[in-house]
Structure formats: structure tokens, C-alpha cells
Structure 1
């Protein structure tokens, strides 16, 4: 669950609404990664417990609550890329503006409109940890062979955090066929403290982000949280984009990532990474969403407006 505060939102726009969004290429097929964006009539109209219940009822990977003014912090995610793209698309389309600022727990996020959707600057505290070597990681993949792993069946894999507590194991595979043969895991991967250094104990288990570099320059990806496969993951894409940019060297780099193909929910994300003196100094995320339905949620105190997007 992510909570977003919107600056300079007019009072006349405080209403309750339910709208799912989809990436434009997926409107007919209803592909992509759905999320819900809830716009309460006021911050006080929906309690934290009600937020959790609403999020569980939608049963999406993320639910965003948009507020027009400041409120006290709760235990939601500080920032998430894919739902912020969805919220940005919704708010820009409703306000008619080409830019706005979303206030998240991780900091203010500038969202701007582009011909292909929206683009936002991601709050980052980028860190590359010690490589990860775990026999289970590859031994639990009966359909993959040594040649399917770029680093080999016995090789360690990079570990990257986009911010403290959001950590990914980057598993590079040699072909789209190998990516398609990758199977979910029965459990998450817990990294030893020495892999996280000063960040030990932060954020729980690491997620597995598998990727293949395609001949056309794009990158095909899959992301696993244990047995669950996520069809679109903005922060994982940003972590990979930052890491790839570091491998190339100083400069401004862009990466087109295609995810969710293997589960029939294709999603496209573009990551822009700026590298200076070997460090990731800036990451931006671009994507799009389309409204596909609208409705209202009744709570005991008031109505809450909701929006969804794959």
C-alpha cells in the first residue's frame, strides 16, 4: 500500500472515484499489472485499518491512496514505481496539467507528461552489495542448464538496492527461452548480513529479478517474490537500469524493459539512468496507463474514490 499527497489540488477535485488503468497496447487484451488508486474525499475519511481492508479487497500487488493535503505517516510503502506511474497518469489526466508533484514518504516526486505517458524522477539511495551465491537459487531450476546462466550454474549473482530495504538479486540469463523456462520458488531468499553491510536487517527478503538482453536492445525481465510473479515492477526496473548503467560507464543511459510476457500480462517500462564518476546520481522512470473502469467505495464515514491500473 502506498500513500501519496498531491500539492495544490483544488478542493473541487476532492471526490471519490474507482478507475482501473491499463498500458495502451493492452487495452483490448486487458494485460499489464493492475493497481488501485483510491482518492478519498478527505484524509480523515478513511482510517488506516480501512485502507488495509480496501487494499486486501482489491487484491492487487499495490493500492495507492491519493490525498490532497498533509496527514500523519503510517506504515505504508515509502515509494513504489509502478503505482506512482498509475497515480501520475490519473492525476495529470484529471487536472489537465503537464506537471505535478507527488509527496511520498520517500520524498517529493516530480511527475511530467510525455507523448508516451508520464515520466517521474525516482528517489534513490543506490547501493551494490556483495555478489550472492546460493546453491538453491539455480539448483531449484530443473529446466535450466549451465549455458542458460550468463554467470554459469555455479557463479554468484549481483545484489542491488535501489533504496534501503528494496533489494534485488539480478539473475542474468542467456536467452528468452531460458527466461521462459524459469520457475517460481517456494520461498523468498534471505540474504546474509554480510551482503547488506550497513543495511543489514533492512527490508526483509530479497526479490529475484531475472533478465535477458535482447538483440533489439530491449531487456526482457521476470520478477519473483517467492512463488508470486509480478508482471510490472518499477523499482526493480530502476535497480536494474542503475546497475546496467554502472557497467557501461559515465553518461546518460536509457533502457526499455518488457516484463510479464510469460504470464500473459505484458508491461513496458523505460528507465533513464545518469552515471557520474561511477555512481548512480539520477534515475527516472517512464510508463503509461489507460482508464478502463470507474466506481465508488463506501466506508462507514464517507465515500472513497478508487482507481486501478495494470
Structure 2
């Protein structure tokens, strides 16, 4: 019976059983595993995402590269943040020891990796789009989250960090409001702009924290967030973090801003996510997004399949 090696890692943390779990399954270079089998393996792990890491022939190159595919339990994703950071930490700490740079190829594009002191920094493919044709309303938020009825909603925006990944961002005034958000079972169903009406949609609730500015006009902003999709909550969502960071940077016109984001606190799985956003000269469009974080190995073994 064929089998594949796997590891699980906890991402956006240095502490086991915190952060967001990720399964990484290695596919040998001489093996072609059908997509339906990959989907079945992802469902078996039953984690928010599973990465299939294709073995590389250039792991000893100055800048090694790997191809990855990312699956949720029910769908394949073009890109996702915590699988990118988790896979980057895994390959750099085990397959490319001593290297500081690498490239991961996913459906959304090529991701340049820098790695130092246990932290992976990934230059994220992006095509940020703010949806405007049918704005999501406060009434729709209350339908999705009945316990927020009457709560102050400071801002609501629907944003795609890349095509196929969509998030409704709802700003709340304080941690008490954030704490009453729940997995209500109501999946977000925004009316997306016509050319972007495809892919996954989640809801993100956030509270802004401290903001500071350096003499060089670089901004640092902390925030805490939760990502809910129906009956599921994610303890760390890198793609949602990137979309939120890009939206907030464009909203305020911050040319250079570093976000320190905390997620998963209410689940007992605190995740620490870094996102650095650079806007172009107009300060209205994103030039670069860098996602950063750590990961720690938890399990390893083999998964058998027919």
C-alpha cells in the first residue's frame, strides 16, 4: 500500500499546541498522486489546511524552491498564509539547513522566502481588491452574528487579498465586543463585485490597538482579530491578515506600516502574525506585502492511501 511522509506544525507560534495546526505531506518527485486522493487526505487530517509539498531537485541550490498545493477539507486554495509560513519554516529548518532564502510556488504565484532566527518572512502574491458594488451592511452582520445586534460597528468592508480569497472585515470598538462573536452557523454571503465573484469567503472581526509612528514616517499598528466561517473559527489566518493590513494601510494612506496581529486568543491558541505593507507612491495601491511568523513541529509519520 503506498504511503507518504507527513509532519504537523503549529504556525505563528513557538509554543506547541498554540497557533494554527498545519499538516505538510511530502510527495516524492517520481510520484503523481491524483487530486481526488489529495482531497481525501486533507479531509482525513481535518485541519483548516493541508499542504502537499512536492519534493525538490534543487534543495541544495543557493536559493532552493518547492512547489506546493494547499487544500482545505472541501476545496483547494490558490494561496493561504499560515500554510505558507508553516511550510517555509519546515523546509528551511530541515531541508535547506543554513540557507536564508527560498521560493515556494503556489497557484497564486511564486513566494520569495527569507528565513532567520526561526522566523520566516514571505513576500506574498497579492491583487488587493476592495468590493464596492454591493456593500455589506450592519443588518447583514447582525444576521450573521445575532449577539452583535445593537453593538457599535465602526467599519465594514469586503476585501480580496487575491482573487478567490474574500473576507468581510468588521471593526469593533473593544475586546468585550470581540469576545461575544461566535460560530453562529451563518456563513458570510456577501454580493461580490461581478468580476470577483469566486472562491472562499470568511468574516473577520477586529479591534485596533496601539499605533505609533517613527521619525522616518514608518507606522506600527497592533490589533486583535477573529476569523469565523459558519461553524468554524480559525486560530490564525494569514491571508485574512494580509487583506486586512492592506485595506487599513490604503484607508489611512500609510506608505509603510508594520502590523502586529494577534488571533486565536478566544480559542486558547494564541497566534502572533506579522504583516508589513508598502504602498506605491500614490499611497492608494499596494506595492508589497510581507507576512512573517514562526512554527514548531508537533507530529510526524506516514499517511497510507489506496
Equivalent residue, structure 2, for 1:293:
299
Q: CA–CA distance in 2 between the matches of 1:24 and 1:261?
A: 12
1:198 aligned to 2:195?
yes
Q: CA–CA distance in 2 between the matches of 1:236 and 1:267?
A: 13
1:88 CA drift (Å): 0.5
1:19 aligned to 2:7?
yes
Q: CA–CA distance in 2 between the matches of 1:64 and 1:226?
A: 23
Q: Secondary structure at the match of 2:299?
A: coil
In 2 relative to 1, CA 172–24 (structure 1 residues): closer, same or farther, beyond 3 Å?
A: closer
Structure with a larger share of its residues in strand: 2
Q: Out of 128-137 and 97-106, give the one that drifted further.
A: 128-137
1:191 CA drift (Å): 2.0
Where do residues 156-195 of structure 1 align in structure 2 (5 Å cutoff)? 157-192=156-191, 195=192
Q: Which runs of 5+ in 2 are unaligned?
A: 57-65, 212-220
Match of 1:121 among 120, 123, 127: 123
Q: How many residues align?
A: 276
Q: CA–CA distance in 2 between the matches of 1:177 and 1:291?
A: 33
TM-score, length-normalised on structure 2?
0.82
Higher relative contact order (CA closer than 8 Å, sequence separation 6+) = 1
Counterpart contact for 1:274–1:281, Cα < 8 Å: yes
Equivalent residue, structure 2, for 1:280:
286
Q: Give the superposed CA RMSD.
A: 2.5
1:121 CA drift (Å): 0.8
Q: CA–CA distance in 1 between the matches of 2:33 and 2:244?
A: 36
Offset from partner CA, 1:6-53 (integer Å, 9 cap, x none)? xxxxxxxxx95322222585535x121111000122352532222112
1:140 CA drift (Å): 5.1
Match of 1:46 among 9, 25, 33: 33
Where do residues 95-106 of structure 1 align in structure 2 (5 Å cutoff)? 95-96=96-97, 97-106=99-108
Q: CA–CA distance in 2 between the matches of 1:23 and 1:128?
A: 28
Q: Which runs of 5+ in 1 are unaligned?
A: 1-14, 152-156, 301-310
Q: Secondary structure at the match of 1:238?
A: helix
Counterpart contact for 1:237–1:271, Cα < 8 Å: yes
TM-score, length-normalised on structure 1?
0.81
Counterpart contact for 1:43–1:67, Cα < 8 Å: no
Counterpart contact for 2:138–2:153, Cα < 8 Å: no
Q: CA–CA distance in 2 between the matches of 1:55 and 1:139?
A: 31
Equivalent residue, structure 2, for 1:89:
89
Equivalent residue, structure 2, for 1:135:
139
Offset from partner CA, 1:140-194 (integer Å, 9 cap, x none)? 545436454224xxxxx111111112111110000011101112232222222xx
1:266 aligned to 2:270?
yes
